[in-house]
């Protein structure tokens, strides 16, 4: 326990330093806020100080000056206080919201540059909760907690100073019991930090389970996964409640106990001050002003204990945010630009494993693809077809060996430039919740004209169904394209690839969701499209690849045969038996 919390404290300091970097651009507002805090604190002390002349001057001595001065001063104090606290609220919120915006911007930027492997490992719920929830928590620490820490510390010292001025003996008594209070605060502090870490994890778990249930609702329905999902959710939900309750219990116990100790202190002060030897030096005004100061110390003390919950939550959240910002980005240290490539591709002794511990998915793979050639990858599910084509746009980097495009090692090429030359229709189609036109003319192609989009959609045989939609190309496709059928989604993805008009085309099961009729139509379009570009096709339906220049048969990431359809059929080996299975020939 002590060891881990020491590490956390160290990190805590570093985190504050790093957060300050984000606050720095807004330091002027920050200074205004601090000035506001000083104003609020001084009015607090001023109010306690005003009690002495109010009682001694007004009620005891009936001094005419004080009779008018005190009421005016009272109003004045609260006017100044109002101005100060407005400045604090406004400026701190301004700084806080700006820091949130900056952090989110950086995080989103970081998100876009993460390697595919990072996404494989992190559930999207966790990533989203970092971006939404954790960042808010950080701002809480940056503004609310800080307001209380600075302002209340100022009030604390101001009031203590005033108390010393009034009577040092009574103040000393207060200072002896005071550390007891702060000791308790430190203890609570440590405990809250621990629980908060667990709370944050449990929030991520709840989001994650819920998200999976939402995304997978069809699978849950058809496979009767309700009980399993409900159990999973219940565990996460329970854990979340438990962690929240722990925080509440810690807070709810801490506050009354601290107050009890404080009331004992007050009793001791009253007892001491009323002893005969003290009575001469203490006027009614002095005593009441002193008591007022002690009483006014409680709220800031109380806030200083409760604020730890927010502060600690902020540290944990900031840690999570900074960890995310520091996550390794996609390796992009090549400088070469691939301009007007011919489309020659070479796999040279390529090895690949997803994890250092896991087995090689691709093992010593060699293949040369001439410009304009169509190469088909076939093989059992899990044999590494998708993996092989994913290596070309460097979604993953080879563990050993090279992939060359036009004899240039892709490792030495700028990622942007590399990917500009590749159009991809992947096994799982991605559509954005936007219009059909904007899904086809996505990203760098967004300035395509309507004619170009329609032409691409025609070629992909997508216009047929798009015309039937009420809004045509301007129809919103819904989240992940849910409003469309699987085949329609695939045709949009093909249209997108057609529009990109890149030299290298990758089709990973691009027509698997289509019926034979549509597939034949698209095949004609695809054949046209493949004509003067290098195409890598992955297909289970062998009928679609019979015309390929080369068919590469894979097994466990290794090439077992290469040849044209006719050559391989004649060889009567792996491909031929696959073919026979699909077509029932002997
Ligand atoms: N993101 C990943 N992380 C770890 N392992 C993976 C990942 N993706 C695939 N694998 C593993 O790599 C192997 C090859 O997968 P790959 O997706 O390349 O197969 P495939 O030939 O495309 O199969 P299919 O025909 O079913 O699409 C499989 O054993 C799979 O378990
Ligand atoms: Mg695959």
Domain of residue 115, CATH code: 1.20.1560.10
What ligand is nearest to the CA atom of residue 541? 1
Tell me which of 140 and 468 has the higher pLDDT. Answer: 468
pLDDT computed for residue 510 by the predictor:
78
Residue 362 Cβ inside 6 Å of ligand 1? The answer reads no
User: Is there a domain that residue 394 lies in?
Assistant: no
Residues 112, 233 within the same domain: yes
Last residue of a domain, one of 484, 501, 518: 501
pLDDT computed for residue 421 by the predictor:
92
Residue 538, H or E segment: strand 534-538
263 is written with which tokens?
């009331």
User: Going by C-beta distance under 8 Å and a sequence separation of 6 or more, which residues neighbour residue 376?
Assistant: 536, 537, 538, 539, 545, 548, 550, 551, 552
- Report how far apart the first and last C-alpha atoms of the chain are (Å, whole number): 71
What spacing in Å lies between the alpha carbon of 369 and ligand 1's midpoint?
Answer: 23
Residues 165, 292 within the same domain: yes
User: Is there a domain that residue 531 lies in?
Assistant: no
Say what angle helices 168-215 and 284-326 make with each other, to 10 degrees.
Answer: 30
Structurally, how many domains does the chain consist of?
Answer: 2
Q: pLDDT confidence of 357, banded at 50, 70, 90? A: confident
Last residue of a domain, one of 451, 478, 501: 501
User: Is there a domain that residue 581 lies in?
Assistant: no
- pLDDT for residue 563 is more than 70: yes
Residues 189, 62 within the same domain: yes
Residues 310, 452 within the same domain: no
What ligand is nearest to the CA atom of residue 388? 1
* Cα angle 558, 563, 566; round to 5: 140
User: What mean pLDDT do residues 474-492 have?
Assistant: 85
CB burial of 495-513 (b: ≥16 within 10 Å; e: otherwise) equals bbbbbbebbbbbbbbbbbb
pLDDT computed for residue 3 by the predictor:
36
User: Is there a domain that residue 369 lies in?
Assistant: no
pLDDT computed for residue 91 by the predictor:
92
Query: Comparing 76-80, 215-219, 265-269, 339-343, which segment has the lowest mean pLDDT?
Result: 265-269
384 is written with which tokens?
């590494």
Query: Which residue among 351, 352, 361, 397 is best mutated to probe the pocket of ligand 1, counting the most ligand atoms within 8 A of its Cβ?
Result: 361
What spacing in Å lies between the alpha carbon of 22 and ligand 1's midpoint?
Answer: 41
User: Is there a domain that residue 549 lies in?
Assistant: no
pLDDT computed for residue 7 by the predictor:
36
Residue 465 Cβ inside 6 Å of ligand 1? The answer reads no
pLDDT computed for residue 8 by the predictor:
43
Q: pLDDT confidence of 585, banded at 50, 70, 90? A: low
Tell me which of 206 and 479 has the higher pLDDT. Answer: 206
Q: Contact, 488 vs 465, CB < 8 A?
A: yes
Q: Return the DSSP state at 443.
A: G
What spacing in Å lies between the alpha carbon of 333 and ligand 1's midpoint?
Answer: 27
Q: pLDDT confidence of 245, banded at 50, 70, 90? A: very high
Query: Which residue among 120, 363, 382, 397 is best mutated to probe the pocket of ligand 1, counting the most ligand atoms within 8 A of its Cβ?
Result: 382
Tell the burial category of 24 from Cβ atoms under 10 Å away from its Cβ (0-12, 13-18, 19+).
exposed
371 is written with which tokens?
């410009």
What is the rounded distance in angstroms from the CA atom of residue 458 to the CA atom of residue 437?
Answer: 12
Parent domain of 58:
2-326
Tell me which of 234 and 190 has the higher pLDDT. Answer: 234
User: Going by C-beta distance under 8 Å and a sequence separation of 6 or more, which residues neighbour residue 22?
Assistant: 99, 102, 103, 142
86 is written with which tokens?
């407005």
Residue in the block written with tokens 């563990």: 399
- pLDDT for residue 347 is more than 60: yes
Residue with the nearest Cα to atom 10 of ligand 1?
A: 354
User: What mean pLDDT do residues 248-275 have?
Assistant: 82
Percent of the chain with pLDDT over 90: 35
Tell me which of 515 and 453 has the higher pLDDT. Answer: 453
Pick the atom of ligand 1 nearest to 120's CA. Answer: 1
User: Going by C-beta distance under 8 Å and a sequence separation of 6 or more, which residues neighbour residue 424?
Assistant: 389, 393, 497, 505, 506, 508
Q: pLDDT confidence of 182, banded at 50, 70, 90? A: low
What is the rounded distance in angstroms from the CA atom of residue 493 to the CA atom of residue 423?
Answer: 10
Q: Do the strands 400-405 and 408-409 form a parallel or antiparallel pair, or are they unpaired?
A: antiparallel
User: Is there a domain that residue 405 lies in?
Assistant: no
Residue 385 Cβ inside 6 Å of ligand 1? The answer reads yes
Q: pLDDT confidence of 485, banded at 50, 70, 90? A: confident
- pLDDT for residue 249 is more than 60: yes
Overall residue count recorded for the chain in this entry: 586
Residue with the nearest Cα to atom 1 of ligand 1?
A: 120
Q: Could you give the count of Cα atoms lying within 13 Å of 383 in the half-sphere of its Cβ?
A: 17
Average pLDDT over the chain, rounded to an integer = 86
537 bridge partner residues: 376, 507
Q: pLDDT confidence of 584, banded at 50, 70, 90? A: low
Residue 382 Cβ inside 6 Å of ligand 1? The answer reads yes
Q: Do the strands 374-379 and 550-555 form a parallel or antiparallel pair, or are they unpaired?
A: parallel
Q: Do the strands 534-538 and 374-379 form a parallel or antiparallel pair, or are they unpaired?
A: parallel
Residue 32 Cβ inside 6 Å of ligand 1? The answer reads no
What spacing in Å lies between the alpha carbon of 402 and ligand 1's midpoint?
Answer: 20
Residues 61, 193 within the same domain: yes
User: What mean pLDDT do residues 232-261 have?
Assistant: 88
Last residue of a domain, one of 475, 501, 527: 501
422 is written with which tokens?
């590749």
Q: CATH number of the domain at 445, please.
A: 3.40.50.300
Q: 54-95 pLDDT, tens per residue?
A: 888 887 888 888 888 889 999 999 999 999 999 999 999 999
Tell me which of 138 and 105 has the higher pLDDT. Answer: 105
User: What mean pLDDT do residues 174-192 have?
Assistant: 75
What is the rounded distance in angstroms from the CA atom of residue 404 to the CA atom of residue 448?
Answer: 30
Q: 133-180 pLDDT, tens per residue?
A: 899 888 877 787 888 888 999 999 999 999 999 988 889 888 887 677
User: Is there a domain that residue 206 lies in?
Assistant: yes
- pLDDT for residue 12 is more than 80: no
Residues 321, 435 within the same domain: no
Residue 207 Cβ inside 6 Å of ligand 1? The answer reads no
Query: Which residue among 115, 384, 513 is best mutated to probe the pocket of ligand 1, counting the most ligand atoms within 8 A of its Cβ?
Result: 384
User: What mean pLDDT do residues 206-228 have?
Assistant: 89
């Amino acid at each position: 326990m002590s060891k881990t919390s020491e590490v956390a404290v160290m990190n805590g300091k570093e985190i504050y330093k790093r957060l300050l970097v984000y606050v720095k651009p807004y330091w002027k507002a920050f200074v205004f806020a601090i000035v506001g805090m000083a104003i609020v604190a001084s009015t607090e002390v001023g109010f306690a100080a005003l009690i002495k002349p109010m009682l001694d001057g007004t009620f005891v001595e009936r001094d005419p000056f004080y009779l008018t001065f005190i009421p005016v001063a009272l109003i004045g104090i609260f006017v100044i206080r109002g101005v100060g606290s407005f400045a604090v609220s406004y400026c701190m919120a301004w700084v806080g919201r700006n820091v949130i915006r900056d952090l989110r911007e950086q995080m989103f930027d970081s998100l876009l540059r993460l390697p595919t492997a990072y996404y494989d490992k992190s559930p999207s719920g966790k990533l989203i909760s970092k971006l939404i929830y954790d960042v808010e928590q950080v701002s809480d620490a940056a503004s609310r907690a800080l307001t209380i820490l600075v302002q209340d510390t100022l009030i604390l010292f101001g009031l203590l100073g005033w108390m010393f001025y009034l009577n040092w003996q009574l103040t000393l008594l207060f200072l002896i019991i005071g550390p007891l209070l702060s000791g308790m605060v430190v203890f609570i502090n440590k405990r809250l930090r621990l629980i908060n870490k667990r709370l944050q994890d449990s929030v991520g778990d709840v989001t994650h389970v819920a998200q999976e249930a939402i995304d997978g609702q069809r699978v849950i329905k058809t496979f009767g996964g309700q009980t399993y999902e409900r159990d999973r959710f219940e565990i996460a939900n329970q854990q979340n409640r438990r962690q929240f309750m722990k925080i509440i219990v810690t807070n709810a116990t801490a506050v009354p106990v601290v107050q009890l100790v404080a009331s004992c202190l007050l009793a001791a002060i009253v007892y001491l001050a009323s002893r005969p030897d003290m009575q001469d030096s203490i006027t009614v005004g002095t005593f009441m002003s002193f008591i007022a100061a002690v009483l006014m110390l409680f709220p800031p003390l109380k806030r200083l204990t409760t604020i730890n919950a927010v502060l600690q939550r902020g540290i944990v959240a900031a840690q999570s945010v900074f960890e995310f910002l520091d996550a390794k980005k996609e390796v992009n240290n090549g400088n070469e630009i691939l301009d007007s490539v011919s489309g020659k591709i070479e796999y040279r002794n390529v090895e690949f494993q997803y994890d250092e511990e896991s087995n090689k998915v691709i093992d010593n793979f060699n293949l040369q693809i001439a410009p304009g050639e169509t190469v088909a990858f076939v093989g059992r599910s899990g044999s590494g077809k998708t993996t092989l084509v994913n290596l070309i746009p460097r979604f993953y980097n080879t563990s050993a060996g090279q992939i060359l495009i036009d004899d240039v090692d892709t490792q030495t090429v700028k990622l942007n430039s590399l990917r500009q030359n590749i159009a991809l229709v992947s096994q799982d189609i991605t559509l954005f919740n936007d219009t059909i036109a904007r899904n086809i003319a996505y990203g760098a192609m967004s300035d395509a004209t309507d004619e170009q989009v329609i032409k691409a959609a025609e070629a992909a045989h997508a216009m047929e169904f798009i015309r039937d939609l009420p809004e045509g190309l301007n129809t919103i496709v819904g989240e992940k394209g849910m409003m469309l059928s699987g085949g329609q989604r695939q045709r949009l993805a093909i249209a997108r690839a057609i529009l990109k008009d890149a030299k290298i085309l990758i089709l990973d099961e691009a027509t698997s969701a289509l019926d034979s009729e549509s597939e034949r139509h698209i095949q004609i379009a695809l054949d046209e499209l493949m004509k003067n570009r290098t195409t890598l096709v992955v297909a289970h339906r062998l009928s679609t690849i019979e015309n390929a220049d080369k068919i590469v048969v894979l097994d466990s990431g290794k090439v077992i045969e290469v040849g044209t359809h006719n050559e391989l059929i004649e060889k009567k080996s792996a491909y031929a038996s696959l073919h026979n299975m699909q077509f029932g020939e002997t």
